[in-house]
Amino acid sequence: MEVPYRRTKVMIKTIPKGTLLFRYTTTPENDLRGIPIDEGRCVTPNFNVFFHPNPFIGYHLYEDYRKEIGDTVYIYVLTHDIKVLWLLEPSKYSRMTRKKKTFIKECSRVPKGCMPRSGNSYDPCMSNTMIKKYPDVVGMIALAPGDNKLIRKAEKRGISQKVKSYFHKARDSFGIHEVPELILHPFVKRPSTDMIIHEQDKLENNYKLLKKMKYSEELHSFMKKAVYDPKTYFYTYKSSASTSESEAP
């Protein structure tokens, strides 16, 4: 579907409940509750968490950043259907649209609010107008230009065909052809102002932790229980019962 934004229309797509999200991190609580600050934890309107559609690409893509991201993949699952900006074909917009200062802009150009530092210029953030007009649009799916070089470097190091079979590539209007990533705000309704989260606060998140696993052959066994969705480039879990709270570590 498309929604109006000033003199144009932007594509919105629904990503279904049960979709699996994969992320390497050493600070998993930040993904759910924000960045620690003196007053508690900070979550801004443009708080972004980046997820891959499979558990393998992040490991190979960020090999040179192993100390920062660790070797444990955190597997999250969407708790309900979500709406995101679609920045892949057939949309005429892409992640590079952030340079045009329209409905998305460089994260370095949005207020840092309660965050310890400003965002990165290479990351996309939503405009204030977009957030206020469509608070239920909680993320975007896009291609990262910088990942092209990183994946080529990883391929030279060696990636098995077994692993690469999970690399489903998309295209965007900028001409990039790579595996997309899903950029999500952690909360069901994106706030229009900064939020300070305290330990006792109960939050309604877009996703929850399903499992955490080291990079190993066990990941292949896990992925046998997942079904690829060509409409989203992500995977869903076969058994809805698997997403119960009792399964989470």
Is residue 212 predicted with pLDDT exceeding 60? yes
Residue ranges of the domains in the chain? 2-247
Whether the pTM exceeds 0.75: the reply is: yes
Cβ–Cβ < 8 Å for 186, 34 = yes
26 contacts: CB under 8 Å, gap ≥ 6: 68, 69, 70, 72
Is residue 48 predicted with pLDDT exceeding 60? yes
Query: For 209-231, what is the mean pLDDT?
Result: 93
pLDDT given for residue 248 in this prediction:
40
pLDDT tens per residue, range 131-167: 999 999 999 999 988 887 888 888 888 889 999 999 9
Name which of 245, 226, 242 is nearest 234 in CA terms. Answer: 226
Name which of 192, 190, 228, 207 is nearest 76 in CA terms. Answer: 207
Angle (nearest 5°) at CA 249 between 190 and 65: 70
Using pLDDT thresholds of 50, 70 and 90, give the confidence band for residue 239: low
pLDDT given for residue 243 in this prediction:
41
pLDDT tens per residue, range 82-122: 999 999 999 999 998 888 878 999 999 999 999 999 999 99
Angle (nearest 5°) at CA 77 between 54 and 132: 105
